[in-house]
Amino acid sequence: MGFDSKPSIVILTGAGISAESGLPTFRDNGGLWEQHRMEDVATPEAFQRNPALVQRFYNERRRKLKDVSPNAAHHALVQLENHWSGPLLLVTQNVDDLHARAGSRSLLPMHGELLKARCLECGAVSVWVKDILPESRCPRCGQLGQLRPHIVWFGEMPLEMDRIFTALEGCGLFIAIGTSGTVYPAAGFVNAVPAGARTIEINLEFAIAGSRFDEQRQGTATERVPELVAELLK
């Protein structure tokens, strides 16, 4: 694809990019939300009401990270970042660590990270690879039993929104990969790019409603993402 100057790229990934690594998505059958109602495990109210259930939901998902690895789609995005001469920002809705483990550097986990805990007492965000338990202590203030997952729940503000919108408003290419486009504000990012920017969606299947993307590439992430990256780097 012919670009004279290399425009800036913003990429948005969702659970679909991690599916082939073995992590369940939210809405495909057998998805995460089927085992739990979202209201029961991914809202501040749920955490107030039943902290043990919420901690268990995230402890289970955090443990699973040890058993999975980045896939060809994650690695292809690292290739793109390493060889694209223009700016590139990878915004992920995923809370797994697969992009980071693949080597992505310009990475913005807008919904938080499973491998971090946040202290309700002092606000510190710490790397946290074990279960969060009632007897867990904050590494900064030492407070007992005040740690929550560093995850953005429904009704909470996603992280670094200003930085994301600045990148969107200046980008020449927006690529969405493996997201159902059901959760806002991420689902609205495609509407924030400048007129004339190229928008591409890679998905296993597309929402019935008409697409707001210039191009839709149907298929699995491990098939379609390396293909697109090869085209862009040609």
Instruction: Give the position of tokens 């969606």.
Output: 201
21 touches ligand BV8 (CB under 6 A): no
Got the DSSP string for 181-195?
S-STTGGGGGGGSPT
Query: For residues 46-85, which are near ligand BV8 according to CB under 6 A?
Result: none
Name which position in 16, 70, 109, 172 contacts ligand BV8 (CB under 6 A): 16
25 touches ligand BV8 (CB under 6 A): yes
Q: Which residues pair with 125 in a beta bridge?
A: 118
Ranked by CB distance to ligand BV8, the top (closest) residue is: 16
Name which position in 45, 60, 169, 205 contacts ligand BV8 (CB under 6 A): 205
How far CA 195 is from CA of 26, 89, 100, 163, in Å, comes to 31, 19, 31, 19
Name which position in 34, 60, 131, 156 contacts ligand BV8 (CB under 6 A): 156
36 is catalytic: no
> What CA–CA distance (Å, rounded) separates 175 from 224?
12
Name which position in 11, 19, 23, 54 contacts ligand BV8 (CB under 6 A): 19
Range list of H helices, 120-196: 161-169
Contact stretch for ligand BV8 (CB under 6 A) within 122-130, 133-141, 147-155, 191-199: 147-155
How far CA 101 is from CA of 69, 77, 78, 189, in Å, comes to 8, 12, 10, 25
Nearer Cβ to ligand BV8 (3/154): 154
Nearer Cβ to ligand BV8 (173/177): 177
Residues labelled as active-site residues: 111
